[in-house]
C-alpha cells in the first residue's frame, strides 16, 4: 500500500540557516509528489510538485525539493530560513498506478519552527 513518512514531528532552525524537512514514500510505479504548507487556522497552500523531469524542483517562497528515486525521498529544502516560514508542512503522494489514484496520501506533517 502506498504511504508517506515524515520522520520528524518538529524541526527547529535558526533564521538565516538552511532548512530541510524530510519525506520518504512507498508507492508502486512512478510517484507524483507534493509539498503543502499550512499556516495556523488556514487551509493547505501548494508549494511544489514533482511529476517527471529534473529531480530538483523549485517552488513558492524560495522552497525547493529533491526527488531521489533510489532513496524514495522527496526532502523539502530552503537555503535561508525566515521566521515567517514557521508552519506545518505536509508531504503527499499520488500513485498513478493505484486504483484510487486521484487521492492524495499525506504524511503526518512536520512542524517547522524558525527562531530569530
Partner 1 sequence: GAGVSQSPSNKVTEKGKDVELRCDPISGHTALYWYRQSLGQGLEFLIYFQGNSAPDKSGLPSDRFSAERTGGSVSTLTIQRTQQEDSAVYLCASSLEWGGLETQYFGPGTRLLVL
Contacts with partner 1, 42-81, as mask; x by CB under 8 A: xxxxx--x-x------------------------------
Whose Cβ is closer to partner 1: residue 51's or residue 113's? Answer: 51
Q: Which stretch binds partner 1 (CB under 8 A): 8-16, 36-44, 60-68, 71-79?
A: 36-44
Min dist CB 71 to partner 1, Å, is 22
Measured CA distances, 45 to 1, 29, 39, 53 (Å): 26, 26, 8, 23
Does 5 contact partner 1 by CB under 8 A? no
Q: What whole-number distance in Å separates Cα of residue 49 and Cα of residue 30?
A: 13
Q: What whole-number distance in Å separates Cα of residue 30 and Cα of residue 60?
A: 24
Pairing between strand 73-78 and 64-68? antiparallel
| Residues binding partner 1 (CB under 8 A) | 32, 34, 36, 41-46, 49, 51, 90, 92, 94, 96, 100-109
Amino acid at each position: 500500500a502506498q504511504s508517506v513518512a515524515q520522520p520528524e514531528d518538529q524541526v527547529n532552525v535558526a533564521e538565516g540557516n538552511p532548512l530541510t524537512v524530510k519525506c520518504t514514500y512507498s508507492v508502486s510505479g512512478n510517484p507524483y509528489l507534493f509539498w503543502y504548507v499550512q499556516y495556523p487556522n488556514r487551509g493547505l497552500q501548494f508549494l511544489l510538485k514533482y511529476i517527471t523531469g529534473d529531480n530538483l524542483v523549485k517552488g513558492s517562497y524560495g522552497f525547493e525539493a529533491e526527488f531521489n528515486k533510489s532513496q524514495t525521498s522527496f526532502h523539502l529544502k530552503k537555503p535561508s530560513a525566515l521566521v515567517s516560514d514557521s508552519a506545518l508542512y505536509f508531504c503527499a503522494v499520488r500513485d498513478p498506478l493505484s486504483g484510487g489514484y486521484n487521492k492524495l496520501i499525506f504524511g503526518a506533517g512536520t512542524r517547522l519552527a524558525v527562531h530569530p
